Structure 1
Amino acid sequence: EMADNEIDYNIVFPDAGTSERHWKGTKEPVVILLGWAGCKDKHLSKYSAIYNEQGCVTIRYTAPMRTLFISESVGYKELSNTALKLLEILFDYEVENSPVFFHIFSNGGFMVYRYMVELLHTDKQFSSLCVVGAIVDSAPGSRDIRGALNALSANLGTHISIFLRYIILAVFAVSVFLLRVVLYPLTKYIHKNHYDAVEDEPPAWPHFFLYSKADQVVRYRDVELFVESLKRKDVPVDSFDFVSSSHVAHFRIFPEQYVSMCLKFLGACMKDLGETKVRKRHQIQEQ
Structure 2
Amino acid sequence: MNCSFPNGLHLFSTHETNGGAIEQQLIPPRADMADDDIDYNIVFPDAVTSDRHWHGTKEPVVVLLGWAGCRDKHISKYSSIYNEQGCVTIRYTAPLKTVFISESFGYKELKKTALKLLEILYDYEVENSPVFFHVFSNGGFMLYRYVVELLHADEQFGSLRVVGAVVDSGPGSGNVRGATRALTATLGPNVSPVLRYVLLALFAVTVFLLRVVLYPLTKYIHKSHYDAVRERPPGWPHLCLYSRADQVIRHRDIEAFVESLRHKDVPVNSFDFASSPHVGHFRDFPEQYALKCRDFLLACMKDSEASEMKTRRRVQSQ
- Quote how far apart the aligned CAs of 1:103 are: 0.2
Q: Paired residue for 1:223, among 254, 259, 263?
A: 254
Q: Look up the match of 2:187.
A: 156
Q: What is the CA-CA distance between 1:277 and the residue it aligns to?
A: 1.9
C-alpha distance in structure 2 between counterparts of 1:277 and 1:152, whole Å: 43
Aligned CA-pair RMSD: 0.7
Aligned partner of 2:242 among 200, 207, 211: 211
User: CA separation in 2, counterparts of 1:281 and 1:228?
Assistant: 32
Q: CA deviation at 1:24?
A: 0.8
- The letter for the 2-side match of 1:193 is S
Q: Cα deviations across residues 135-172 of structure 1 (Å, max 9, x unaligned)?
A: 00000000100000000000111112111111110011
- Cα distance in structure 1, aligned partners of 2:36 and 2:313: 45
Give 1:93's aligned residue: 124
User: In the aligned structure 2, how far is the partner of 1:78 from the partner of 1:151?
Assistant: 20
Query: In 2, distance between residues paired with 1:146 and 1:61?
Result: 26
List aligned pairs for 1:1-287, cutoff 5 A.
1-2=28-29, 3-287=34-318
TM-score of the superposed pair, with normalisation by structure 1: 0.99
Unmatched 5+ stretches in structure 2: 1-27
Residues 162-171 or 230-239, more deviating: 162-171
Superposition misfits of 4+ residues, deviation over 6 angstroms: none
Residue type matched to 2:272 in 1?
Answer: D
Task: Give 5+ residue unaligned stretches, structure 1.
Answer: none
Q: CA deviation at 1:25?
A: 2.0
What is the number of equivalent residue pairs in this alignment? 287
Percent of aligned pairs with the same residue?
A: 72
Bigger helix fraction: 1
- Partners of 1:126 and 1:280 lie apart in 2 by 19
| In 2: Cα distance, 1:281 partner to 1:156 partner | 52
C-alpha deviation, 1:278, in angstroms: 1.7
Cα distance in structure 1, aligned partners of 2:207 and 2:316: 56
Larger relative contact order (Cα-Cα within 8 Å, sequence gap ≥ 6)? 1
Distance in 2 between the 1:225 and 1:270 partners? 26
- Following superposition, the deviation at residue 20 of structure 1 comes to 0.8
SS in 1 for 2:230: helix
Counterparts of 1:37 and 1:278, CA distance in 2: 39
Distance 1:95 1:30 in 2: 8
Report the secondary structure of 1:189's partner residue: coil
Equivalents in 2 of 1:109, 1:145: separation in Å? 18
Partner Cα separation in structure 2 for residue 93 and residue 86 of structure 1: 11
Distance (whole Å) between structure 2 residues aligned to residue 163 and residue 282 of structure 1: 66
Shift of 1:275: 0.7
Cα distance in structure 2, aligned partners of 1:284 and 1:118: 28
CA distance in 1, matches of 2:212, 2:312: 50
